[in-house]
Structure 1
Amino acid sequence: MNIEQLVKLIKQKHHLSGIEINPPATLSDIIEFENQIGFSLPPDFREFYLTCNGFCCNEDIFNMIPFQEIIESQQNFGNSWFYFSEYMIYSDMWGLRYTATGQFEIFNDSYPDKILSSSLNEFLQRFLTGNVFDTGGLYEWHNELRINNSNE
């Protein structure tokens, strides 16, 4: 499933509880953002921002953060990383990090050393399946990874 399809399904799932999908970013918006953060976005992040420049979902007050909001606050980005998602008005955040080896890592600010994925597609599928707290959701993903890592 591609990013555009995932955004459409997330919109359908949350239309009754409330969701606002932002208009797409332009290619020049993306290039300007990449210049601010110091690296080029991976293809799935580019696809997401060309589909929509973030969204606000009433479910768990979960947001995919638009470029302007990321850049407005210095604590939302740094050298080779930025927070792209948050819930409960920045109670918890998910970020993308570009490593020295040229890899991308999605992480949660509560467990910055635990890599959830390198795929925004996988991240959005987890949100589509279980929101933040439900079965199959983002927090269950954290717990699955924590348990799997402790068994190694």
Structure 2
Amino acid sequence: MAMERLLAEISRAHFPRPPATLEEVAAFEARAGWRLDDDLRAFYLHCNGAELFEPSPESNYSILPLAKVHRARVVMRGRDEDSAGPPSWYALVDCQDSDYVLLDVAGGRGAYPLLDGWHETYPHRCRRIAASFSEFLERALDSEDPLFWLRK
């Protein structure tokens, strides 16, 4: 599904926040040290975070606003050091109970893959659950709320 249709679906049936400004996007990129890929840029200029299916705090998919997107090791382990996880992993989606979907920006170009940041196995076992944010979003919206990567 094209990103435009995914964003329209979020606006129609979910809980988006107001859009980020170009200045907020630029400030985030300067702080983080990496650029949003095309999918993420389109999302954040459409809505600066969103809850899918249920409003906060009940949402299984709480896509964080730019101001809350930080290194996963800081969010999940409280310290910004290599023993707490790779510096290229960022917490992007809060899934409740200290679990996150992580964005891996190590590649630096094109779409960034997304990983399962289950707090019990982080940072040792974080499997890829989507090759891009648009793939993640499409699969999340199709899930009807359960975390799609946990289905058997």
Q: 2:31 is paired with a residue of what secondary structure?
A: helix
Letter in 2 for 1:139: L
Cross-structure match for 2:2 = 2
Match of 2:89 among 81, 84, 87: 81
Q: Distance in 1 between matches of 2:108 and 2:65?
A: 27
Partner amino acid, structure 2, of 1:126: R
Q: Is the 8 A contact 2:34 2:108 kept in 1?
A: no
The reply to whether residue 94 of structure 1 matches residue 101 of structure 2 is yes
1:28 and 2:10 are equivalent in the alignment: no
TM-score, reference length from structure 2: 0.71
Alignment identity in percent?
A: 25
Superposition TM-score, scaled by structure 1 size:
0.71
2-side partners of 1:139 and 1:11: how far apart?
26
> 1:11-65 CA distances to partner (integer Å, 9 max, x unpaired)?
444xxxxx42111111221111111111111111111101110112427512110
Name the one with the larger helix percent: 1
Q: How big is the shift at 1:130? A: 0.7
* Structure with greater proportional strand content: 1
Once superposed, what is the RMSD of the aligned Cα atoms? 2.9
Q: 1:1-152 residue pairs with structure 2 within 5 A?
A: 1-13=1-13, 19-57=14-52, 58=54, 61=59, 62-70=61-69, 74-75=74-75, 79-88=87-96, 90-99=97-106, 102=109, 104-110=112-118, 112-133=125-146, 137-140=148-151
Question: Structure 1: which 5+ runs fail to align?
Answer: 14-18, 144-152
Aligned length: 132
5+ residue gaps, structure 2, are 81-86
**CA-CA distance at 1:133 after TM superposition:** 1.9
